[in-house]
Amino acid sequence: MSEQTSEKRILHAPFSDDIIRTLKAGDMIYISGIIYTARDAAHKRMFEMLEKGGDMPFDFDGQVVYYAGPAPAKPGRPIGSVGPTTGGRMDAYSPALIAQGLKVMIGKGTRNDDVINAIVKHTGVYFAAIGGAAALMARCVAKSEVVAFDDLGTEAIRRLEVEELPVVVAVDCEGNDVYKQAIEKFRES
């Protein structure tokens, strides 16, 4: 579901392929709804579970995974600072998880060609979140609960209810990549 206002485009998770196809590299959007956090250790564990034929800790269909390991919550808040982790740290695991239905990822930094090819093949999208603004990102979280791998501490998988989490389309479903575009423009100047 998508809501367009004159000021901002708000998308509601989970995402359908039709919504993902409307997103273009460089678009600024705001995500509301349910998303999940997962970083390196959780990705490795999910990948190993997948290799053994196990079930994933949540249904990947159209879901959003935010590469983040939130800080502990302050009193009265659902979560502490929750800034993005470098997406490249998940590159070894992402193509297999994308093939299993993971559609939407949020992180920072570039992704390798295998991930971009999987995004294109399976109609996915990679968003960039604002690095260095973890405290501000936490203000977008209304609820937080651990749903898997509690033993991983901050790297446990959390289910977050977010309201207008700001992100930029870094890699769209056609493989257009804002990072590569920026490098090309820099080289041309």
CA distances from 54 to 32, 41, 48, 140, 163 (A): 29, 17, 9, 32, 32
Cβ contacts of residue 78 below 8 Å, gap of 6+?
Answer: 141, 142, 143, 144
Residue 13 main-chain phi, psi, to 5 deg: -80, 150
Cα–Cα distance for residue pair 151/4, rounded to 1 Å: 40
Do residues 39 and 82 touch, judged by C-beta distance below 8 A? Answer: no
Q: Percentages helix, strand, coil for the chain, rounded to the nearest 5?
A: 30, 30, 40
State yes or no: is 43 an active-site residue: yes
Do residues 24 and 172 touch, judged by C-beta distance below 8 A? Answer: yes
DSSP H helical ranges for 31-112: 40-51, 94-99
Cα–Cα distance for residue pair 86/108, rounded to 1 Å: 5
Among 39, 43, 103, 111, the active-site one is: 43
Active centre residues (catalytic): 43
